[in-house]
Structure 1
Amino acid sequence: MKILHIIPSVAPIRGGPSRAVLEMVKALQRQGIESEIATTNDNGSGLLEVPLEQQVTYADVPVWFFPRLSPGIAAIREFAVSWSLTNWLQQHLYDYDLLHIHAIFSYPSTIGMAIARQHNHPYLVSPHGLLNRWSLKQQALKKQIYLKLIEQRNLNSSKAVHFTAFAEAQETASLKLIAPSSVIPLGITSPAVIFKAREKLRQKLKLSDSQPILLFLGRIHPKKGLDLLIPALANLRGYQFSLVIAGEGSPDYEQEVHRLIEYHNLSDRTYWLGFVSGVEKDIVLQGSDLFVLTSYSENFGIAVLEALAAGLPVLISDEVALSEVVRQHQVGYVTSLDIRHISEALNQALAGETNLQQMGDWGRQLILEKYTWDRIASNLSEVYTAILKREPIPTLY
């Protein structure tokens, strides 16, 4: 079995789905499933410095990079058009038994589905939250037209639609897709334990040992709900805490968040680390006290898994698809998209009404039991096999 994964970008700046695809392919290879990635050299407003139109090893997996058009118009750059990817896929489609398309509303994903559909070649699609209500409301008219003219047919012709959470599948039900669906979560690789991570993080930030650290880690994007979290933090009275923001976004939106922090008099409590990875990321996760993500929409929330794997309890909105898992296993707090409710949950966490350390231990155990990449790859393998053998698609794991 040979699988080609198509995704617009694997650049770290693109967030969870790009990281997840790389880890997914590694895990599939460990299962004995030959897997490769075809993508562009997209890197946000810039380009990745990688060899083009040849297979290279990137992040320990085989990847084909193709040049992305880079005009001055941001919307066209974001669409990630690549003529050479189109030509290559037309020539090499039958080198692969199955295509696994990641994301929609982007040129590489759309053209990958269209070529496979025209040649009656099997493919499945992972929308990665782009069919969720919040996402479809952004540039709503444009997406409605795109769906009607192109993407609905592409989706309906797929052999399966892969959702990462039951909540994501439920949100998509109104579209009345006819392709079968399967719910398989994303996975996580458990990090190495960092000795004295709490102490090392506080030394880096010049904070006292007793200072609680609240961590936001991820893309700095309007969807992430920082406009709710920051005023909710400002409502807290009588608590010492520091907010660490680890991630990157567009310069304009980062400035907007800076202004919001200044407006709410939280500048002296906020630490910006930028994009973190490797050991630095492990120290930040393992050295913090509470992970916070009051997002307007998350089809899954890979950063939530990363926090739990590090033994860090979480405070998330009920629009994060993992919220039911957090509630069920009591590994954190779930709040509505309301500043007062977020403040109440933060107050509960900082007041010590629950044992954060115990929550963190439960979260780490949950990851080890249910969210390893090897387990996820095994589930995906069953779906691939069912497609190729024309058998019923397994629906829920």
Structure 2
Amino acid sequence: MIARSTTRNARGRTGVQPVAAHEASVRTSGTPSAAPLNGLPTLALLVPTITRAGGGVSEAVRLLHDAVIAEGRWTVEVHTIIAPGFDEARAAYGATPVYGARRRDRTRYGFSPGLVKRLLISDAQVLHVHGLWGFHCLAAYLWHLKTGRPYVVTPHGMLERWIMQRSRLLKTAISIAYQRRFLRRAASIHVLTGKERSDVNDVVPNLPMTVVPNFVVAPENVVGLGRPSWWRKDLGGRTVFLFFGRIHAKKGCMELCDAWERRCTSDPTFAANTALVFCGWTDGLDALTPRIASLAERFGNVIHAGAQFGDDKWRSLAAASFMILPSKSEGLPLAVLESWAVGVPTVMTRECNLPEGFAAKAALAIKPDVGDIERGLGSAYALTDIERAEMIAAAQELTKSTFSRGSVGTRMIALYEAARAG
């Protein structure tokens, strides 16, 4: 198949040039979708970036693509904005057409007129928009106004209260300009959790919403991948706490460091028998690097391993005793699902929006403040071998029963069918 990127020709016009490729709540539309090609309808996935910079959203879109393809009832195409790492990320979509448009600004907004042009010549019957607050939402809205075809929106936690309080003037301007109308016109809002349903309703009430969680697929033999590159011989026998994800203020990284310092200072036995490992890429929290270095020098049990992708990700997760995520705000963190998939229980806040983990006893609850994070570290460390084994089994069973590709894929196909039927 051919992936395409959008560029400007010599006259300044936007053109498309080939690039080497590698139960639903739905609002009725009244406008029929385009006729399906090759006997199967087409779903278009629209996401600001498919690269690693997109974090959990990019990964969730790739996994959703795989789930829809596996069902064999829809064909899929992907529309996105070109960013560093685009070619590598595109390869993960195999034979699926991936259309990349070039951005015309240097902001996170992602102004990309070529995105609109490519969508308007698409034969997709349903468009699935991922994320908010970017130009891609305006592109989807214009596509809908022109074609009359339905679209589904997944906010990915971007209407959560903590997020809404940041850059409030910009968000207000975007909302007034088009985003409220964009949300109201959607066939359905796909939310990942019951908490997100409430968040969306607080911002734009009475929208049709469908709750379907994310899912993950772990390698069959994670242990066979070996140890991660950051592993040291002295970690053997220690309780390893792993922070995995984007290094950002909302993730509670600095609070975790403060809690670790307090616990290690007050409990030398804890300090001698544990380790804290940070795996992730820095997103505006540059102060974390020297903070980790200071803790490592003082206690010798803190490691900054950097970003981990592919097999390195799974090696890192499997090497942990617990994953810890003291987030102040989340949509549905894929890293938690990935840790459960390889039998690693979690220490996390309720802001991670995964109450199933607490109910199944696959997770310990903490609050996103230093004192309670410290308490949670101590509680996890104090668990007996039998209690840890029970948490491991609960994590694995929860993945199979609730966050598997089959269950999620079937429910998403039902959502697309309902949107298409109008």
Tell which deviates more after alignment, 307-316 or 210-219.
Answer: 210-219
Deviations 1:104-147 (A, max 9, x none): 11112321123213432211100101111111111012102211
Counterpart of 2:71 (choices 26, 31, 45) is: 31
1:372 partnered with 2:404:
yes
1:104 partnered with 2:145:
no
**Structure 2: which amino acid aligns with 1:359?**
M
1:309-328 aligned within 5 A: 309-322=341-354, 324-328=355-359
Counterpart of 2:150 (choices 113, 122, 130) is: 122
Secondary structure of 1:17's counterpart equals helix
Given that 2:49 and 2:83 are in contact with CA atoms closer than 8 Å, whether structure 1 keeps it comes out as yes
Tell which deviates more after alignment, 101-110 or 206-215.
Answer: 206-215
1:206-285 aligned within 5 A: 206-236=233-263, 237-238=267-268, 239=270, 240-250=273-283, 253=285, 255-262=286-293, 268-285=300-317
Given that 2:292 and 2:303 are in contact with CA atoms closer than 8 Å, whether structure 1 keeps it comes out as no
| Aligned equivalents of 2:109, 2:413: Cα separation in 1 | 30
Scaled by the length of structure 1, what TM-score is found? 0.88
1:9 partnered with 2:49:
yes
Given that 1:231 and 1:264 are in contact with CA atoms closer than 8 Å, whether structure 2 keeps it comes out as no
Secondary structure of 1:376's counterpart equals helix
Given that 2:244 and 2:335 are in contact with CA atoms closer than 8 Å, whether structure 1 keeps it comes out as yes
| Aligned equivalents of 2:229, 2:240: Cα separation in 1 | 9
**Structure 1: which amino acid aligns with 2:362?**
V
Secondary structure of 1:219's counterpart equals coil
Deviations 1:190-242 (A, max 9, x none): 32223377x83598323242122110111111111102111111111230311
Residue of structure 2 in register with 1:18 after alignment: 58
| Aligned equivalents of 1:159, 1:342: Cα separation in 2 | 41
**Structure 2: which amino acid aligns with 1:130?**
M
**Structure 1: which amino acid aligns with 2:111?**
V
| Aligned equivalents of 1:186, 1:289: Cα separation in 2 | 23
Given that 1:5 and 1:38 are in contact with CA atoms closer than 8 Å, whether structure 2 keeps it comes out as yes
Rg comparison, structure with higher value: 2
| Moved >4 Å (runs of 4+) | 262-267
Residue of structure 1 in register with 2:173 after alignment: 145
Distance 1:386-1:215 versus aligned 2 partners, 3 A rule: same
**Structure 2: which amino acid aligns with 1:342?**
I
Secondary structure of 1:15's counterpart equals helix
| Aligned equivalents of 2:186, 2:205: Cα separation in 1 | 10
Scaled by the length of structure 2, what TM-score is found? 0.83
Unmatched tracts of structure 2, length 5 or more: 1-40
Quote the RMSD (CA, aligned, Å). 2.2
Residue of structure 1 in register with 2:99 after alignment: 65
| Percent identity for Structure 1 against Structure 2 | 21
Q: CA deviation at 1:321?
A: 0.7
| Aligned equivalents of 1:49, 1:191: Cα separation in 2 | 24
1:182 partnered with 2:245:
no
| Aligned equivalents of 1:234, 1:49: Cα separation in 2 | 42
| Aligned equivalents of 2:294, 2:235: Cα separation in 1 | 25
Q: CA deviation at 1:159?
A: 0.6
**Structure 2: which amino acid aligns with 1:173?**
N
Distance 1:196-1:320 versus aligned 2 partners, 3 A rule: same
| Aligned equivalents of 2:159, 2:99: Cα separation in 1 | 26
| Aligned equivalents of 1:50, 1:330: Cα separation in 2 | 38
**Structure 2: which amino acid aligns with 1:157?**
R
Q: CA deviation at 1:149?
A: 2.0
Residue of structure 1 in register with 2:379 after alignment: 348
| Aligned equivalents of 1:15, 1:357: Cα separation in 2 | 30
Tell which deviates more after alignment, 272-281 or 183-192.
Answer: 272-281
**Structure 2: which amino acid aligns with 1:41?**
I
Q: CA deviation at 1:262?
A: 4.4
Deviations 1:288-322 (A, max 9, x none): 10100001111111110000001001000111111
Given that 2:201 and 2:207 are in contact with CA atoms closer than 8 Å, whether structure 1 keeps it comes out as no
Secondary structure of 1:125's counterpart equals strand
Q: How many aligned residue pairs are there?
A: 373
Tell which deviates more after alignment, 200-209 or 299-308.
Answer: 200-209
**Structure 1: which amino acid aligns with 2:46?**
I
| Aligned equivalents of 1:134, 1:377: Cα separation in 2 | 30
Given that 1:39 and 1:63 are in contact with CA atoms closer than 8 Å, whether structure 2 keeps it comes out as no
Q: CA deviation at 1:279?
A: 2.3
| Aligned equivalents of 1:126, 1:61: Cα separation in 2 | 24
Secondary structure of 2:351's counterpart equals coil
Residue of structure 2 in register with 1:395 after alignment: none
Deviations 1:315-350 (A, max 9, x none): 00111111x111110002111122111111110111
Deviations 1:338-372 (A, max 9, x none): 21111111101112257222201110111011111
